[in-house]
Amino acid sequence: MHSLLINADDFGLTPGINRAILELHQAGALTSATLMAAAPACAEAVAMAQAHPSLGVGCHVVLVDGEPVAPPETIATLLDPTSARPAFHSTLGGFLRALLLGRIDPMHIEREAAAQIARLRALGIQPTHIDTHKHTHMFARVLRPVLRAAQNHAVHAIRNPFEPAWSVQATPHAPLARRVEVHLLRTLRTQFLRTVRASGLRTTQGSLGVLATGTLDATTLRSLLANLPAGTWELVCHPAYVDDALRATRTRLLASRQVEFEALLAVLALNAHPHAIPATERIHFGHLP
């Protein structure tokens, strides 16, 4: 049996992202989204989610390139000391340097992740799962405190951010440097799965589309679906309508977000292509056994 979770990240970041996610879900081309608790358009995203309960909504924990939900003085080691206001490191590289040098207190990661989950729950959203902005939870020093936050707030599933070898081979347009990066990071997969299993949280067999971030078009999407093996997989995507709010962010994904939106609609919309991926159950994280 094939089971596919089709999840859009960055729900709540901009109105254009929210609109794209809602339209894709209504078309049957999206089953899940992960919501950013401190994002500017979070309130609009919450209203959309509450009006469409069939959309699974997780917590997209932000520990880099964002602002904290917890009081800054309680998570001080997560903050960029060069920033004029309380803010996380603006780049993944800066965050990882601080993490690997032991400058980040794991308790501060747990406290911030818990605060973001708690904010969503206070807004009426019980997250179906948890994942992290830029997949920081693939690193053990982030994973363990994030798992503790999830356990303490009744979140029962987490993204497996590692892309399988078959999916890498089925992604035709990704640059070489990105391929090498995904290959090297896969060395963390065994320890990740062991830690998640010990925590009791559920997860999938892997994520598709991580390598294709920035290049996920209709051709790549069809290639991934054509090679989909039996099991439970997550398709990670970043669709959006490009608006002024998105242009004002530091995201490297701009024009590609519109391409992803159009690809998902063309390939996965149920009303247009009901048999695009035959014998595949479309689920969200709340459906994981």
Higher pLDDT, 184 or 49: 49
Q: Which domains does the chain have, with CATH numbers?
A: 2-287 (3.20.20.370)
pLDDT digits (tens, 9 = 90+) for 232-289: 999 999 999 999 999 988 777 788 999 999 999 999 998 655 455 556 899 999 999 8
pLDDT range class, residue 191, cuts 50, 70, 90: very high
* Residue type at position 186: R
Q: What is the model's pTM? A: 0.95
Phi-psi group of 120: left, alpha or beta (phi > 0 → left; psi -120 to 50 → alpha; rest → beta): alpha
pLDDT range class, residue 139, cuts 50, 70, 90: very high
